[in-house]
Chain A
Amino acid sequence: DGGITQSPKYLFRKEGQNVTLSCEQNLNHDAMYWYRQDPGQGLRLIYYSQIVNDFQKGDIAEGYSVSREKKESFPLTVTSAQKNPTAFYLCAAGQFTEAFFGQGTRLTVV
């Protein structure tokens, strides 16, 4: 999937626990994104970063946090404040006219 690596592929979270999803890219793109996918709702933007050390909230940022300390890395933390975290999470990196997606991480609350 174009040099975007997400890990782990499957993740289980207990109630009240923070978990971090990894996203690494080797495409040298400035912009990176996190989307959440729920059945029938398409992709919703959580956070995006257009340059190192800077990021912006998307449409559904509550209960999530990110960092962008390196160009190639954009980890997403799902905090205990996110009340319904079970979903498929997709990371992407983009140039001006195209986005490249990772394989996704499926997060389940147990």
Chain B
Amino acid sequence: AQSVAQPEDQVNVAEGNPLTVKCTYSVSGNPYLFWYVQYPNRGLQFLLKYITGDNLVKGSYGFEAEFNKSQTSFHLKKPSALVSDSALYFCAVTDGGSYIPTFGRGTSLIVHP
């Protein structure tokens, strides 16, 4: 079985400060990891993914994520937050055997002006 944990329901950060949204995972094989963003009453938009290779993955809108195999984590980061980054963020994992992603509960990011 595969699972994802997003330990924070909400993250608050001031505009211009760095942000981190945490994600840990459990999967039997090699993990394929994803971050998606959701704005109110909209579908999910893909941000970035880790399949293999470099542990630091760069994605859309200046976001990046670091894969840490020993800590089974895939935290989302951005060096300087924008108010427009305020949204709901989902981490997802699949073992790559069959693409059926399991999503975390989501973390609400609030960036204050």
Measured CA separation A95–B42 after assembly (Å): 21
Measured CA separation A31–B99 after assembly (Å): 8
Mark out the residues of chain A between 26 and 70 whose CB falls within 8 Å of any chain B CB in the assembled complex: 31, 33, 35, 40-43, 45, 48, 50
Residues 100-113 of B, flagged 1 when their CB comes within 8 A of A and 0 if not, give 11111110000000
Mark out the residues of chain A between 83 and 105 whose CB falls within 8 Å of any chain B CB in the assembled complex: 88, 90, 92, 94-104
Flag if B42 contacts A97 (CB, 8 Å): no
Q: A1-B43, A98-B46, A104-B42 are in contact. Are A42 and B99 (CB under 8 A)?
A: no
Contact of B43 among A94, A97, A102 (CB under 8 A): A102
Mark out the residues of chain B between 71 and 113 whose CB falls within 8 Å of any chain A CB in the assembled complex: 90, 92, 96, 98-106
Number of interface residues of A (CB under 8 A): 28
A106 lies within 8 A of chain B by Cβ: yes
Measured CA separation A106–B42 after assembly (Å): 10
Flag if B101 contacts A97 (CB, 8 Å): no
Number of interface residues of B (CB under 8 A): 24
Interface residues of A: mostly helix, strand, loop or mixed?
Answer: strand
**Which A residues are in CB contact (< 8 Å) with B90?**
42-43
Measured CA separation A45–B34 after assembly (Å): 16
**Which A residues are in CB contact (< 8 Å) with B49?**
97-98
- Contacts from A to B (Cβ < 8 Å): 1, 4, 6, 31, 33, 35, 40-43, 45, 48, 50, 88, 90, 92, 94-104, 106
- Using A101-B45, A104-B43 as known contacts, list a sample of 10 further A-B pairs with CB atoms less than 8 Å apart, ordered by residue number in A: A40-B9, A48-B100, A96-B96, A96-B99, A98-B34, A99-B44, A100-B46, A101-B43, A101-B44, A102-B43
Q: Could you pull out 18 A-B pairs where Cβ atoms are within 8 angstroms? A: A4-B43, A6-B43, A41-B105, A42-B103, A42-B105, A42-B106, A43-B90, A43-B103, A92-B44, A97-B51, A98-B34, A99-B101, A101-B43, A101-B44, A101-B45, A103-B42, A104-B42, A106-B41
